[in-house]
Homo-oligomer: A and B are copies of this chain.
Amino acid sequence: MSLNAEIICVGTELLLGDVVDTNSVTISRGLTQLGINLFHRETVGDNHDRLVRVLKSAIERCDIVITSGGLGATCDDITKEAVAEVMGVELELHEESLERIKDFFSRRNITMTDNNVKQAFLPKGAVVFPNDYGTAPVTALTKGGKTVIMLPGPPRELCPMFEEKIMPYLKENFSSSTIISDSLMLYGIGESAVEEKLCDLMRDYTNPTLAPYAKIGEVQLRITASGKDEEECRRLIKPLKEKVFERVGEYIYGVNVDSLERALNLDLREKGLTVSFAESCTGGLCAKRVIDIPGASKVIGTSVVTYSRESKMKLLQIDKNIIDTYGVISKECAFHMAKGLMALSGADISVSVTGVAGPDTDEGKDVGTVFVGVASKNGVRVKEFNFARGRREREYIRALAANAAINEARLEAKDF
């Protein structure tokens, strides 16, 4: 029998729109992996009565309640008090936690304020998980067949504490079956086209399930199986995965690879190649994303952000005539940017990006017009893209342009 959980996010700032709730993503993903159902998530402010009401109905409805936030040192932080009240237990000083909090401050040469002592008062009888990333201890309190787990609000504390401490705790105490997912990443096809090609599989399969998720310019397909062990799950996943590959395999750039830059990193490292970028409209985003992957130093060559005409001419040796004749938003400019970058960087693959991210048109070219050039021992080639989607899309167009450039680098590495 699988268990039901519920997440309660506590914090007025979440309701005022000042913070994006990324904690829920971490917790939700973990529960999915463990096969614990999550039907419901609620967000409430730092208000005692409303929090107590939400806690009461959550505890009544489900087996495990996970709270995030409200464990700080200020008087606005009321989660522990509310949980203790609803569960009918007392808060008591947890000496070991107090010592850790004192130590946390002294190691950072910060004076500990009196109100930090409040963070060491924990529900009597709770399992305590010392917080390696902050001062608020994490607790799991079980009473009357119900468990309430309290996590601190800052994602920098919550995410590692949930993954390193709470996931193993939940797995040991609450997870009966094994859940395995394979994630297939697609580039170059939209979500609705994927759905059209796979709708019968998505509808007919129940274990494993097949579900699509739209990312920015990409689609993720997740095949999830539940079984008694990993082997059974793998055996269930295999035939469905093969069917998916038959239908949309040409768009799949990786399995259990989280991004185009990760796939590029793997391809480059496998072949011992390096890549460089000369970026105009993406403004450093391509290099940034490739360097996001640890160990990037093995694959990234000298990259440049040549946003102005002058920098394109000076650094990439583009002839002024080329720019005067064709403009910087042109196939020719992308071609010479890639070529010039190859000379400058000496990387195996040199990729250029130039285009119009908006908000205004440029050189008479529409917002969303993007040229990607690739130079390598195989020569120089340029592709044109159009990413226009209405207004206010500067960030979005740049993300799509970076996708395209990273994907072209990946295709070039494949052919190397």
Residues on A close to B: CB < 8 A? 12-22, 24-32, 38-45, 47, 50, 54, 73-74, 113, 132-133, 154, 156, 160, 192, 195-196, 211, 213-214, 220, 222, 277, 279, 282-288, 290-292, 294, 296-297, 300-308, 310-311, 314-315, 344-345, 358-360, 389-396
The reply to whether A306 and B302 form a contact with Cβ atoms under 8 Å apart is yes
Q: Check if A311 sits within 8 Å of B345, measured CB to CB.
A: yes
Given A286-B284, A291-B283: A39 and B18 interface contact (C-beta under 8 Å): no
The answer to whether A307 touches B315 (Cβ under 8 A) is no
Instruction: Determine which of B15, B20, B73 lies in contact with A39 in the assembled complex, contact meaning CB atoms within 8 Å.
Output: B15
Kindly list chain B residues whose C-beta atoms are within 8 Å of the C-beta of A359. Answer: 294
Q: Are B305 and A303 in contact (CB under 8 A)?
A: yes
Question: Chain copies in the assembly?
Answer: 2
Distance to closest chain B CB from A155 (angstroms): 10
- Taking a contact as CB atoms under 8 Å apart, the answer to whether B30 and A17 are in contact is yes
- Residues of B contacting A345 in the complex (Cβ-Cβ under 8 angstroms): 311
Distance in Å: Cβ of A210 to nearest Cβ of chain B: 13
State whether B283 touches A300 (Cβ < 8 A): yes
Q: Residues of B contacting A22 with CB < 8 Å?
A: 20
Q: A308 contacts which chain B residues (CB < 8 A)?
A: 297, 300-302
Selected from B42, B213, B360, B389, the residue in CB contact (under 8 A) with A13 is B213
Question: Do A41 and B15 form a contact, CB below 8 Å, given A283-B288, A301-B308, A305-B302?
Answer: yes
Q: Choose one: B14, B28, B133, B291; the contact of A305 (CB below 8 Å).
A: B291
Contact A29 B42 (CB under 8 A): no
Which residues of B are found within 8 Å of A285, using beta-carbon distances?
Answer: 284, 288
CA gap between A393 and B41 in the complex, in Å: 27
Are A160 and B391 touching (Cβ within 8 A)? Answer: yes
Task: Assess whether B304 is in contact with A305, with CB atoms less than 8 Å apart.
Answer: yes
Q: Considering the chains assembled together, what is the distance between the CA atoms of A282 and B18 in angstroms? A: 26
Q: CB < 8 Å: which of B39, B294, B303, B306 contacts A44?
A: B39
Closest to A285 in B: B288
Q: In chain B, what residue has the closest Cβ to A154? A: B214
Q: How far is the CA of A40 from the CA of B287 in the complex (A)?
A: 41
Looking at A39, A54, A283, which has the most chain B CB atoms within 10 Å of its CB?
Answer: A283
Can you offer 30 A-B residue contacts whose CB atoms are under 8 A?
A13-B213, A14-B28, A14-B41, A15-B38, A15-B39, A15-B40, A17-B24, A17-B32, A18-B29, A18-B220, A20-B21, A21-B21, A24-B43, A39-B50, A40-B50, A41-B42, A42-B42, A42-B43, A113-B196, A133-B389, A156-B389, A160-B390, A283-B292, A284-B291, A291-B307, A292-B395, A294-B360, A296-B307, A300-B305, A302-B304
Determine how close the nearest CB of chain B comes to the CB of A19; give it in whole angstroms. 7
Closest 7 CB pairs of A and B: A283-B291, A17-B29, A284-B284, A17-B28, A284-B287, A302-B311, A303-B305
Contact at B304–A304, with CB atoms within 8 Å? yes
